[in-house]
Structure 1
């Protein structure tokens, strides 16, 4: 742990701050006040937070401090400042979805994930900016303005969990919750140089979060370190009868394999799709990380993944169909209040035939069977998180391998695992020549997040 007061506590990891709070070397009030001061100082430029819950956060911090003084320590999140993507309902606190229509919306209940965080003693410090209605790969379409990259202010943060990534990377909170329908946790994590986990579908309750796609949406943690991420997942996962897609599983400690190494583990590299369209700098960094895994004793093998192009198409068709139904009232009531780009994405679902949707569901189940066979041979699959480096804010087309591409291609390597519901993590893998972070993605078998953390930690310690 960092020497007490020898460094800025805002730069500490969640686990280090947690240890200091547990040992009563620092207090939740001290940490929360420092966090809020930093938000007030830097958020006007970064635009990561839409709402800062200062009064509620300080009250909760005082309660946490008293509980700990009285011997009622609740665990690793007790007294830790956390941020929430602003699609997550918070009772009597603004929840805007990044949209003009909801700029004054006050829910009358807390989302399940909020209840779990607060039961664990977390201090929720605010609601985080996002690509409007959580539909977009860039993170720069919000009624409240674009979120800025913490180190490269002209670049996108990635979408749609833009504020969730920037807030963590800029030390405005120790962890955040994002949502991921096609890569919206992992893309911003990659671009901002942090860790983002999309858990297995059904692992984390979505009750009380905006629905974009019933079968593709996931909630998950975003943090500065792998261990911090696993700690957060420990507290937000679990069965919830209020979520029809929630899965009953025994409680587990996702940190338990971290630091045990990867000697004799088998990690698969896809033979196609993930490398068909990829920026050379991204590929170079990816290959460097494969070498690190070999050096640490992992066995690297090629894996054949058929149906991947079809699976990507399935994600796109399912998303357009389900988001149109989920957000149809927004189109009917106040279409002019929706960002034009976002509105176009939603209305594309009007053109999808029921037969197309059913066909894509068939592809989904074929792909689930395919991955099941692959995970009989490997412990995890490694890929780049994104196929290209981030563009500038408001830029939509860019050159990639001599061809014009749209920023929608950023979700090419992340979207498929939303369709099949597999756990996927992005961990920082290095930097481009211009200093832009590049993420490495690990994909695991259903409900095997612990193995992904185990491998990602090795990358983290060797980057």
Structure 2
């Protein structure tokens, strides 16, 4: 799970491992793997470089003439980012074009991939950072495991499979190859059948 998706909270990692174990116990072949293409270049880094250049001009136009307190926090965050130099933008585009090849190689051998959805359990609103394994991380890391799907167009589905020590839900992400939605929906249904969260009841 790391470093391809960035730092992951141990509670999240244990839930993903539990989902993988559940599928293994159902008779499926489950193996830990590494995607060199995903680990060589952190997808979130070059996604931000491209994304900021794509949306920053439109946001600047939309909020022109408005005071700071009238602008949504995410819009302020985007506007505060420096412009991406053209050479960096081109390099990011090239990295984004290489990423699908790495996934294509993976899906020649495997039917699906089980990953985190978020790197941490539930968090509060209006935050600037998250804490992962005792380290402060950018709020953008929340997209670390989902941005690769945005870049490549791969299908994914999120399923609750665990509960944090604080009682909050933890989801796992099932990722499939292009046009293989039926495969990931089938795997998601298997996880739904065996997850213990379906047997939880509210305290009275």
TM over 0.5: yes
Task: Provide the secondary structure at the position in 2 that maps to 1:299.
Answer: coil
Change (3 A) 1:348 1:306: farther
Task: Provide the secondary structure at the position in 2 that maps to 1:301.
Answer: coil
2:91 is the counterpart of 1:326:
no
Contact 1:431 1:438 in 2 (8 A): yes
2:156 is the counterpart of 1:421:
no
Q: 1:343 aligns with which of 75, 83, 99?
A: 75
2:126 is the counterpart of 1:381:
no
Count of matched residue pairs: 192
Q: Distance between the aligned counterparts of 2:181 and 2:19, measured in 1?
A: 20
1:248-397 matches, within 5 Å, as 272-274=3-5, 277-308=7-38, 309-334=41-66, 336=68, 337-339=70-72, 341-348=73-80, 351-397=83-129
Q: Distance between the aligned counterparts of 1:406 and 1:272, measured in 2?
A: 15
Q: Distance between the aligned counterparts of 2:114 and 2:185, measured in 1?
A: 13
Moved over 6 A (4+): none
Contact 1:425 1:442 in 2 (8 A): yes
Contact 2:44 2:141 in 1 (8 A): no
* Aligned-pair Cα RMSD in Å: 2.1
Q: Distance between the aligned counterparts of 1:334 and 1:457, measured in 2?
A: 47
Aligned to 1:459: 191
Change (3 A) 1:422 1:326: farther
Aligned to 2:202: none
Change (3 A) 1:335 1:374: farther
Change (3 A) 1:399 1:335: same
Task: Provide the secondary structure at the position in 1 that maps to 2:64.
Answer: helix
Deviations 1:244-294 (A, max 9, x none): xxxxxxxxxxxxxxxxxxxxxxxxxx57524x5221111222211111100
2:143 is the counterpart of 1:411:
yes
With normalisation by structure 1, the TM-score equals 0.39
Contact 1:427 1:441 in 2 (8 A): yes
Aligned to 1:431: 163
Q: Distance between the aligned counterparts of 1:326 and 1:359, measured in 2?
A: 23
Q: Using the TM superposition, give the Cα deviation of residue 397 of structure 1 relative to its aligned residue in structure 2, in angstroms.
A: 3.2
More helix by share: 2
Q: Using the TM superposition, give the Cα deviation of residue 354 of structure 1 relative to its aligned residue in structure 2, in angstroms.
A: 2.2
Q: Using the TM superposition, give the Cα deviation of residue 392 of structure 1 relative to its aligned residue in structure 2, in angstroms.
A: 2.1
Aligned to 2:201: none
Q: Using the TM superposition, give the Cα deviation of residue 398 of structure 1 relative to its aligned residue in structure 2, in angstroms.
A: 4.2
Unpaired runs of at least 5, structure 1: 1-269
Q: Distance between the aligned counterparts of 1:348 and 1:415, measured in 2?
A: 21
Q: Distance between the aligned counterparts of 1:455 and 1:338, measured in 2?
A: 41
Contact 2:59 2:79 in 1 (8 A): no
Q: Distance between the aligned counterparts of 2:80 and 2:127, measured in 1?
A: 21
Contact 1:271 1:303 in 2 (8 A): no
Contact 1:335 1:343 in 2 (8 A): no
Change (3 A) 1:335 1:355: farther
Change (3 A) 1:354 1:420: same
Aligned to 1:158: none
Task: Provide the secondary structure at the position in 2 that maps to 1:413.
Answer: coil
Q: Using the TM superposition, give the Cα deviation of residue 405 of structure 1 relative to its aligned residue in structure 2, in angstroms.
A: 2.4
With normalisation by structure 2, the TM-score equals 0.84
